[in-house]
Amino acid sequence: MRDLVARLYPLCRSITGDGVRRTLEIIGESLRLQVREVPTGTQVLDWTVPREWNIRDAYVKDASGNRVVDFAASNLHVVGYSVPVSATMTLDELRPHLHTLPEQPALVPYRTSYYAETWGFCLAHDTLEGLPDGPYEVMIDSTLADGHLTYGEHVVPGRVAEEVLVSCHVCHPSLANDNLAGVAVAVRLARRLAGADPWYTYRFLFAPGTIGAITWLARNRERAGRIKHGLVLACAGDRGPLTYKRSRRGDAEIDRAVRHVLRTSGRAHTVVDFSPYGYDERQFCSPGFDLPVGSLTRTPYAGYPEYHTSADDPDFVSPGAMADTLETCWEVTRVLEDNRAYLNLSPYGEPQLGRRGLYGSLGGRSDTKEAQMAMLWVLNLSDGRHSLLDIAERSDLPFGAVAEAARALRGSGLLKECSL
């Protein structure tokens, strides 16, 4: 995963353009992607697909010809969607177009201007403080023209048409945690699911933030109704504890599944309520769709000093943290995949488990007590009104233990699957 982050990091991405296409090409080396191109001017819900932006070079040169700000050194040095510029100006004339972080003077900020035609450069405040009055040669070799918005989808087929949506954004330039770590985790999760014969169909969406999700929703109104569960992945590689943001519904199965996995795993974590600000969960959870989509991050957006700065580089991303995020996602899918309701076929008194070999099969296991309690809880609450997740939450047992108990009891003829 870290290798993928490092490979994608140098690419200049935005909400449109060749950087997004190249990013999807590289992802496509690991996953079979369906790449969609939506023309400029297409109406998508209340929005319109914007013009496509591409950039080749940009710099600010001092009087000696030295590039004091250089796009070739870092694509963060140019404000995203900057229009073309070729001019000579003094520092005073240039200053309104320069963006720094005075409180973090050694770092370059990330700035964009998607829907207003302007231009600008980002640089370290220390660099700005050392600049003489000029003159400066200012050049941005970019194009803003009719083109396309590009996004990619990968589908892991399941046994049913109901879908689990996993979404991450691919519009940020050289920012490793936000959101290349999320992309890398999604790629590995998709590959792992492909070998698991899943019950649900899993749809992975790699799209520009906001406008990409809105475009996908506009083009998939009918398919959106198939989404049973959903997760937006972002900031997946920093060393902070995991944070889950609930869906708009607050008590959707995905909300309960993630909360249960985090709580029973012993991982440090935080669960927060939904708010209409953040990543693309706010689009999927808009009231007209109200999809059961939550958001999983480590430290949330704007919650760490490296956020949206040049310090969010590949060295900032922890392979161990990405692995932990991936494992958490995998455990959540295990809950979603195995959550069923059952009916106890011997509900009058406790059935004799010993003569069925159920107690004997547990002998010598380190978790014998837990497994026995799981069987008793499953038998007691399998009344056709409780799912396995209900039972795990009420018993305070790990979902995996409850699901394993249900499989053993069903195999012994004591349970049958039913619909809630």
pLDDT of residue 361: 53
Identify the domain boundary among 130, 145, 160: 145
Nearest by Cα to 1 from 316, 311, 313, 317: 317
Whether 61 and 140 map to the same domain: the answer is yes
**CATH number for position 281:** 3.40.630.10
The mean pLDDT of 43-64, rounded to a whole number, is: 97
Check whether 96 has a pLDDT greater than 60.
yes
Whether 141 and 156 map to the same domain: the answer is no
Whether 43 and 86 map to the same domain: the answer is no
Structural domain for 316, as ranges? 2-50+148-337
Percent of the chain surpassing pLDDT 70 = 98
**CATH number for position 384:** 1.10.10.10
pLDDT of residue 364: 52
Based on the number of CB atoms within 10 Å of its own CB, is 61 exposed (0-12), middle (13-18) or buried (19 or more)?
A: middle
Identify the domain boundary among 337, 372, 392: 337
Amino acid identity for residue 280 in this structure: D
pLDDT (tens digit per residue) in 210-224? 999 999 999 999 989
Whether 182 and 308 map to the same domain: the answer is yes
pLDDT (tens digit per residue) in 151-203? 999 999 999 999 999 999 999 999 999 989 999 999 999 999 999 999 999 99
Whether 108 and 223 map to the same domain: the answer is no
Whole-number mean pLDDT of the chain? 95
pLDDT of residue 116: 87
The band of 40, judged by pLDDT with boundaries at 50, 70 and 90, is very high
Whether 212 and 119 map to the same domain: the answer is no
| Domains identified in the chain, total number | 3
Q: How many CB atoms sit inside 10 A of residue 106's CB?
A: 12
Whether 14 and 133 map to the same domain: the answer is no
Listed in sequence order, the residues at least 6 apart from 61 whose beta carbon sits closer than 8 Å to its beta carbon are 67, 68, 136, 137, 138, 139
Whether 179 and 213 map to the same domain: the answer is yes
Whether 73 and 108 map to the same domain: the answer is yes
**Cβ–Cβ under 8 Å, residues 413 and 342:** no
Crossing angle (nearest 10°) for helices 368-381 and 399-411: 70
13 against 356, higher pLDDT: 13
**CATH number for position 132:** 3.50.30.90
**Cβ–Cβ under 8 Å, residues 45 and 217:** yes
* CA triple 283-285-289, angle to 5 deg: 90
The mean pLDDT of 312-331, rounded to a whole number, is: 97
Check whether 100 has a pLDDT greater than 80.
yes
Identify the domain boundary among 321, 337, 353: 337
pLDDT (tens digit per residue) in 330-371? 999 999 999 999 999 999 998 988 888 887 554 455 567 888
Nearest by Cα to 108 from 122, 95, 120: 122
Listed in sequence order, the residues at least 6 apart from 100 whose beta carbon sits closer than 8 Å to its beta carbon are 109, 122, 123, 124, 125, 128
Whether 268 and 377 map to the same domain: the answer is no
The mean pLDDT of 363-382, rounded to a whole number, is: 83
Whether 173 and 297 map to the same domain: the answer is yes
The band of 89, judged by pLDDT with boundaries at 50, 70 and 90, is very high
pLDDT of residue 358: 82
| Both structure tokens of 397 | 């047992």
Whether 111 and 260 map to the same domain: the answer is no
Percent of the chain surpassing pLDDT 90 = 91
